[in-house]
């Protein structure tokens, strides 16, 4: 046992464990079998997003038990609690998806409230799905307590006809089935084998992207995100995370000592070089907001523009998270970035050592198959590109990993839909022409509400073989599993009267990911006239409840669609109360 002398005089838990006035609280603690010695140790919240909603979360509870053993080994008192999740893979393509992005902020809020309400001193957070990863990291930075993040691990790939398959193949199979090129029986076989285990979706979609971020930003231990969820070898990282948080308490290293402008840049580099999800351009600004750091969509896009893309992961490339783990994982990726001078190595990490010190211990090298050497990348610029122009003065984002330069330029007439359902129905009925730009508006954070992902529509287009013959723009989002020329996060959103609200069928739209342009061939005068004629935001069905509350609070996509002012406006830091 690593027992250390404990000075509780500055720790939040003193408010509930010390002195005669806290006898009632101690009674509750004794009722739960907590010993006198444990009461007077530092208290560590072990927050999981465990539930039975989806395979992404199902293995978190087991891993949390091992984290708790690590906390105890380090001389702390772990208290496990759970928060909510919304699972994108299940909410996708229906009204449930409106709860997804809102759940990120609800996760941050509920972890914050549990920590505040019970005066926990530090936090180990386990998460395994798209929104729970950023939500948990946001809570860590917001509370500014010593914090260690640990990913639940990814799913194993399924196998069919000698090939690895993932849930992306199932989404795209729906398009093939609609197009009549896949039978009912073939679809049924695929849906039964595509997801063979617990764990988050296996390709470089949002969960794995944010898992890579967790290591690059420094909140997670090196290589802790790599092993798939069913591997019990994950336990060594879980235990080490519990021990580490105690080390951070002792050294008073807090989340905002780890998350800095430089570490956010490191995180954006890793997203870019792995062809990660465009959702990182929402989540990194949101994490930055919790630290009071200015880091918006354009900052993310700038980094992506000069970062080579050299990690060959699906959906743009060929491999899944398990393959990345087997060739050394995120630390080897970061070593390559560092060889090109693209990494800030003086950033602090969850181990209490700097990123540079951690990387010195990494022996692996780029294998040339999954991780290419940075000197011979798959392409010279990142897998994700920021766009700007008269159609998106507050920017937009597109994933280009795996696309040729010629495929990154698209001009065509707009076909405008007022919501995802209308677009999906038209695609299903093939009521569109090759060469058009499908516009799906009123899907922004406020106007949706909830900034849904358009995967059902894009997967159906891919399934119809139209992925390269059609472009799509939206003020909503795309899943990491989306393929094709799909521009999301167009801002300002339609509900705020952004130019996307003013488009009409046939307007000529130009998208150019090489030059970073998104424009419509309309004069300033014409746009101003249409704005004057605009009837205002569309009414939604959400006039009460959590989604309504979210729509009242949520801010601009460019700044991460956050729901509170962040550290810049705070008058106290929780950990110092
Ligand atoms: Fe949870 Fe994909 S649905 S990670």
pLDDT at 15: 97
Can you state the percent helix, strand and coil of the chain, rounding each to 5? 45, 15, 40
pLDDT band at 481, cuts 50/70/90?
low
Closest atom of ligand 1 to 85 CA is 1
In angstroms, the Cα distances linking 13 to 43, 104, 122 are 6, 26, 10
pLDDT at 99: 96
Which of 13, 119, 225, 479 is labelled catalytic?
A: 479
Q: Which residues pair with 412 in a beta bridge?
A: 509
pLDDT at residue 97 above 50? yes
pLDDT at 4: 58
Q: By the 8 A CB rule, do 212 and 273 touch? A: no
Q: By the 8 A CB rule, do 200 and 60 touch? A: no
Closest atom of ligand 1 to 208 CA is 4
Question: Which range, of 81-85, 92-96, 160-164, averages the lowest pLDDT?
Answer: 92-96
pLDDT at residue 522 above 90? yes
pLDDT at 18: 97
pLDDT digits (tens, 9 = 90+) for 502-515: 999 999 999 999 99
Q: By the 8 A CB rule, do 124 and 245 touch? A: yes
Looking at the chain, the whole-number percentage of residues with pLDDT higher than 90 is: 85
pLDDT at 463: 80
pLDDT digits (tens, 9 = 90+) for 289-330: 999 999 999 999 999 888 999 999 988 889 999 999 999 999
Which segments within 407-458 are labelled E, that is strand? 409-417, 437-440
Token representation of residue 363:
């022996």
pLDDT digits (tens, 9 = 90+) for 139-189: 999 999 999 999 999 999 999 999 999 988 998 898 889 889 999 999 999
pLDDT at residue 2 above 60? no
pLDDT digits (tens, 9 = 90+) for 189-202: 999 999 999 999 99
Taking the C-alpha atoms of residue 224 and residue 570, their distance in angstroms, rounded to an integer, is 32
- Which among 283, 296, 348, 349 is positioned nearest to 108, based on CA atoms? 283
Token representation of residue 340:
């090109």
Closest atom of ligand 1 to 167 CA is 2
pLDDT digits (tens, 9 = 90+) for 53-68: 999 999 999 999 999 9
pLDDT at 462: 82
Q: Is the CB of 88 under 6 A from ligand 1?
A: yes
- CB-based burial label for 90 (10 Å; 0-12, 13-18, 19+): middle
3-state secondary structure of 303: helix
Q: Is the CB of 153 under 6 A from ligand 1?
A: no
What pTM value is reported for the model? 0.95
Pocket test for ligand 1, best of 53, 56, 107 (most atoms within 8 A of CB): 56
Residue bearing the CA closest to ligand 1, atom 3:
89
Q: By the 8 A CB rule, do 379 and 407 touch? A: no
The secondary structure element, H or E, covering residue 291 is helix 280-291
In whole numbers, what is the pLDDT of the chain averaged over residues? 94
Q: Is the CB of 87 under 6 A from ligand 1?
A: yes
Buried b (16+ CB within 10 A) or exposed e, 181-200: ebeeeeeeebeeebbebbbb
Q: Which residue has the tokens 């003020």?
A: 475
- Which among 208, 168, 158 is positioned nearest to 333, based on CA atoms? 208
Q: Is the CB of 129 under 6 A from ligand 1?
A: yes
CA distance from start to end of the chain = 30
Taking the C-alpha atoms of residue 130 and residue 492, their distance in angstroms, rounded to an integer, is 24
CA 535 to chain centre: 34
pLDDT at residue 1 above 80? no
pLDDT at residue 3 above 70? no
* Active-site annotation holds for 519: no
Cα angle 173-174-176, degrees, rounded to a multiple of 5: 60
What's the CA-to-centroid distance between 296 and ligand 1, angstroms?
25
What's the CA-to-centroid distance between 213 and ligand 1, angstroms?
16
Buried b (16+ CB within 10 A) or exposed e, 119-152: bbbbbbbbbbbbbbbbbbbbbbbbbbbbbbbbbb
Q: Is the CB of 453 under 6 A from ligand 1?
A: no
460 versus 231: which is more confidently predicted?
231
pLDDT at residue 76 above 90? yes
Taking the C-alpha atoms of residue 453 and residue 433, their distance in angstroms, rounded to an integer, is 23
pLDDT at residue 70 above 60? yes
Closest atom of ligand 1 to 130 CA is 4
pLDDT band at 385, cuts 50/70/90?
confident
pLDDT at 49: 96
């Amino acid at each position: 046992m690593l027992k250390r002398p404990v000075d509780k005089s500055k720790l939040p838990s003193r408010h509930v464990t010390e002195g005669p006035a806290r006898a009632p609280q101690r009674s509750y603690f004794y009722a739960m079998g907590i010993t006198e010695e444990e009461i007077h140790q530092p208290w560590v919240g072990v927050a999981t997003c465990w539930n039975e909603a989806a395979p992404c979360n199902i293995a978190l509870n087991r891993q949390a038990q091992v984290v708790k053993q690590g906390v105890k080994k380090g001389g702390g008192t772990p208290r496990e609690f759970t928060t909510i999740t919304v699972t994108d893979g299940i909410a996708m393509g229906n009204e449930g998806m409106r709860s997804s992005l809102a759940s990120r902020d609800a996760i941050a809020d509920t972890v914050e409230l549990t920590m505040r309400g019970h005066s926990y001193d530090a936090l180990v957070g386990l998460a395994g799905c798209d929104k729970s990863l950023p939500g948990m990291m946001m809570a860590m930075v917001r509370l500014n307590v010593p914090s260690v993040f640990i990913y639940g691990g990814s799913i194993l790939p399924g196998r069919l006809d000698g090939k690895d398959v993932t849930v992306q193949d199932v989404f795209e199979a729906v398009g093939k089935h609609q197009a009549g090129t896949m039978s009912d029986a073939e679809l049924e076989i695929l849906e039964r084998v595509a997801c063979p285990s617990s764990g988050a979706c296996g390709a470089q979609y949002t969960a794995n992207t944010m898992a890579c971020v967790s290591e690059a930003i420094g909140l997670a231990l090196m290589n802790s995100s790599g092993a798939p969820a069913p591997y019990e070898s994950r336990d060594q990282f879980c235990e080490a995370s519990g021990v580490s948080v105690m080390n951070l308490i002792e050294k008073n290293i807090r989340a905002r000592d780890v998350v800095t402008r430089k570490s956010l840049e490191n995180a954006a580099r890793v997203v870019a070089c792995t062809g990660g999800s465009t959702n990182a351009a929402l989540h990194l600004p949101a994490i930055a907001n919790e630290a009071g750091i200015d880091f918006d969509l354009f900052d993310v896009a700038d980094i992506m523009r000069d970062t080579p893309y050299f990690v060959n992961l699906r959906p743009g490339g060929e491999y899944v998270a398990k393959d990345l783990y087997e060739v050394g994982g995120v630390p080897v990726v970061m070593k390559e970035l560092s060889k090109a001078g693209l990494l800030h190595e003086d950033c602090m990490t969850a181990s209490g050592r700097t990123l540079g010190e951690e990387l010195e211990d990494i022996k692996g090298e780029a294998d040339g198959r999954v991780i290419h050497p940075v000197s011979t990348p798959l392409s010279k610029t990142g897998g994700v590109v920021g766009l700007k122009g008269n159609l998106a003065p507050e920017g937009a984002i597109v994933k280009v990993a795996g696309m040729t330069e010629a495929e990154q330029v698209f001009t065509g007439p707009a076909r405008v839909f007022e919501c995802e359902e209308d677009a999906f129905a038209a695609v299903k009925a093939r009521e569109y022409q090759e060469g058009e730009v499908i516009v799906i508006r009123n899907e922004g954070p406020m106007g949706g509400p909830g900034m849904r992902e358009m995967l059902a529509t894009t997967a159906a287009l891919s399934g119809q073989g139209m992925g390269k013959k059609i472009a799509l723009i939206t003020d909503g989002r795309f899943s990491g599993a989306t393929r094709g020329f799909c521009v999301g996060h167009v801002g300002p959103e339609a509900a705020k009267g952004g130019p996307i609200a003013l488009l009409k069928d046939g307007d000529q739209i130009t998208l150019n990911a090489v030059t970073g342009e998104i424009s419509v061939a309309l004069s300033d005068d014409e746009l101003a006239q249409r704005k004057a004629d605009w009837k205002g935001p569309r009414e939604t069905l959400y006039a009460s409840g959590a989604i309504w509350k979210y729509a009242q609070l949520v801010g601009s996509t460019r700044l991460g669609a956050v729901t509170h002012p962040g550290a810049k406006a705070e008058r106290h830091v929780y950990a110092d109360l």
